[in-house]
Structure 1
Amino acid sequence: MTVLVIGASSQVGRFLLPRLDALECDWIGLSRQAPADDPRWLRGHLPDAMPTLPPVTAILSSGPLDGLAYWLTGTRLEGTPHIIATSSMSAETKRDSDVPTERELSLRLRDAETKLIATCASRGMPWTLFRPTLVYGAGMDKSISPIVHAAQRRRVFPLPAARGQRQPVHADDIAAAFVAALVTARARGKTFPIGGGERLSAAEMFRRARRSAGVFTLPVPLPRAALALAGLAYPGLIGPLRRLDSDLIADNSELEAILGIHPRPFRPDPATWAVRV
């Protein structure tokens, strides 16, 4: 079995490659920053800078779903590889957002899912999609890691008042789900939400992130009045600030029943925020 890993240097890809090695599965890694001295890697990116590919059994992509869907539509692959890819829970949670750009993101994700599924169906290619919640674990996410990294530099950690539930999922648990989907026939033709192994308030998520920063930081509570002022001063924060009191969670029941994947709870340590190279 030979698989193509698109986004092999992404936060999910960095955990996925060792799991494929443990499975004794041959892989080809695709990345913008492909190592020049490893013949298993190809340099490229979705959708319009893809190299010529050899025949593969499956394509595992943690890259942009719309780019994958667009590329698949215009590309004829040899055989019928199993397409396994990540979308995002934002496809649903941002569907009715007050922020136009977030509604556009939700629509783009749902359109990409529809296009990918239709392309696979027309060519007899099996597919599996994952919709993760907030992803962490390789110091590369754009949600929690930037806050932790800034706090490590400034020794100040903001703690916003936030009642919404969160379910952060470790990138390695998504990688485990990819491998399980690769070897489980019942995963084909399924879309799996995937969240972490526990649900906690957003406020508690930030408190745990602070405790795991590895350096002392001064906790700075941010009451709702301060958050409202921040939204006025920085319009780009309006969407994230409004979601602090909304639940952003996933139902893992099918993930657990079909794939046997039980994601870990949110118990980060300092190594969680170190960018893996």
Structure 2
Amino acid sequence: MAVALVLGASGAIGRFLLPRLVVAGDDVLALSRAVRTSDAPRLHWLRGDLEQALPPLPALDVLYSCGPLDAFARWYARAPMQAARIVAIGSMSIESKQASADPHERALAARLHDAERSLAATARERGAAWTVLRPTLVYGAGVDHSLTPLVRRARHWRVFPRVAGARGLRQPVHADDLAAACVAVAAQPHCAGRAYALGGGERLAFAAMLERVRASLPFRTVPLPVPLPLVRGVLALARAAGSTRLSPALVDRLGHDLVADDSAARVDFGYAPRPFRPDSACWDTTVPFSGD
């Protein structure tokens, strides 16, 4: 039995990680900014924010960070706490956006690099074993910022984009497969001090990925052909309006492969993600947490 703290417990990966830890017999502390009163056997919710002081914490066997890596690394460097094992979720954006034409995306990649270095340095100082997992496009809990927004718009407008020419390969990974990876890697001492790229179980063209999302919807939609120049123009307008999330550089990547070589993860801790076969539950935010 281990004592585990889960940061980002209400996010996509956290909501799948909590029940896995409880079933494994761990005593789980789950951090959320919102007030939660749904404690369950072996699960206790804490209210707090990494940018502020957290409630007092016991000595931890494992600390799982499922939220933004840069915020976690800053908090971990200044937090007076001890955890023997650290498992943190990063992002493959550390590689895919390193040479982006968009300065905001290059800055994100730099922040991820700095966060990984800071995490490693702090863990070494405290004698903790650390591992970073770098997933590709995450889906499965209805809270992602990539595919779920398309589903929401389709629900409202009953149309779904069909982007011709978007042939770059993608490797979407289900949040529950990442939760399983967190548990698996925490139990493997030889995975300490490493960062692992993690993709889903299937590589498919961006346009084909969108078609599978459309097929998963519980309502009918009309496919709407969207030429790449139009996508570029819309994103440019979004950037001019102040959006830093939607970048014209996204169009450039539609023709490039954004996949992960996760062979090391498959060998080191038995990583075995599912193929991309989404259903309507993947876009549903009402799936309960363990204890809700």
The alpha-carbon distance between structure 1 residues 241 and 74, as it changes in their structure 2 partners (threshold 3 A), is same
Q: Which residue of 2 aligns with 1:107?
A: 110
AA aligned to 2:152 is H
Question: Is the Cα contact below 8 Å between 2:69 and 2:112 reproduced in 1?
Answer: yes
- Secondary structure at 2:67 match in 1: coil
The answer on 1:252 being equivalent to 2:255 is no
Q: How far apart in 2 are the matches of 1:21 and 1:4? A: 12
AA aligned to 1:212 is S
TM-score for both structures, normalised by structure 2: 0.91
Q: How far apart in 1 are the matches of 2:137 and 2:236? A: 25
TM-score for both structures, normalised by structure 1: 0.96
Q: How far apart in 1 are the matches of 2:233 and 2:102? A: 17
Q: Which residue of 2 aligns with 1:30?
A: 31
Q: Which residue of 2 aligns with 1:269?
A: 279
Question: Is the Cα contact below 8 Å between 2:21 and 2:183 reproduced in 1?
Answer: yes
Runs of 4+ in 1 over 4 A off after TM superposition: none
- Aligned to 1:196, which of 193, 196, 200? 200
Q: How far apart in 1 are the matches of 2:94 and 2:44? A: 33
Q: Which residue of 2 aligns with 1:75?
A: 79
Q: Which consecutive unaligned segments of at least 5 residues does structure 2 have?
A: 240-245
Question: What are the within-5 Å matches in structure 2 for residues 115-194 of structure 1?
Answer: 115-161=118-164, 162-194=166-198
Question: Is the Cα contact below 8 Å between 2:139 and 2:175 reproduced in 1?
Answer: yes
Shift of 1:135: 0.3
**Post-superposition CA distance 1:73-114 (Å, at most 9, x none):** 112224x42110001000110001111111111100110000
**Post-superposition CA distance 1:156-193 (Å, at most 9, x none):** 10111211110000000000000001211121111111
Shift of 1:35: 1.1
Q: How far apart in 1 are the matches of 2:152 and 2:236? A: 25
Q: How far apart in 1 are the matches of 2:281 and 2:28? A: 27
**Post-superposition CA distance 1:221-269 (Å, at most 9, x none):** 1122322332443334312222111211111101110110110010001
Question: Is the Cα contact below 8 Å between 1:230 and 1:237 reproduced in 2?
Answer: no
AA aligned to 1:76 is P
Q: Which residue of 1 aligns with 2:211?
A: 207
Q: Larger deviation: 37-46 or 178-187?
A: 37-46
The alpha-carbon distance between structure 1 residues 136 and 52, as it changes in their structure 2 partners (threshold 3 A), is same
Shift of 1:119: 0.7
Give me the identity figure in percent: 46
Question: Is the Cα contact below 8 Å between 1:47 and 1:68 reproduced in 2?
Answer: no
Q: How far apart in 2 are the matches of 1:201 and 1:45? A: 38
- Secondary structure at 2:60 match in 1: coil
Q: Which residue of 2 aligns with 1:241?
A: 251
Q: Which residue of 2 aligns with 1:46?
A: 50
Count of residue pairs the alignment pairs up: 276
Q: Larger deviation: 42-51 or 26-35?
A: 42-51
Question: What are the within-5 Å matches in structure 2 for residues 11-30 of structure 1?
Answer: 11-30=12-31
Shift of 1:34: 4.1
AA aligned to 1:256 is R
Provide the aligned C-alpha RMSD in A. 1.4
- Secondary structure at 2:233 match in 1: helix
Question: Is the Cα contact below 8 Å between 1:131 and 1:191 reproduced in 2?
Answer: yes
Q: How far apart in 2 are the matches of 1:267 and 1:112? A: 33
Q: Which residue of 2 aligns with 1:86?
A: 89
Q: How far apart in 1 are the matches of 2:218 and 2:194? A: 39
The alpha-carbon distance between structure 1 residues 37 and 262, as it changes in their structure 2 partners (threshold 3 A), is closer
Q: Larger deviation: 267-276 or 231-240?
A: 231-240
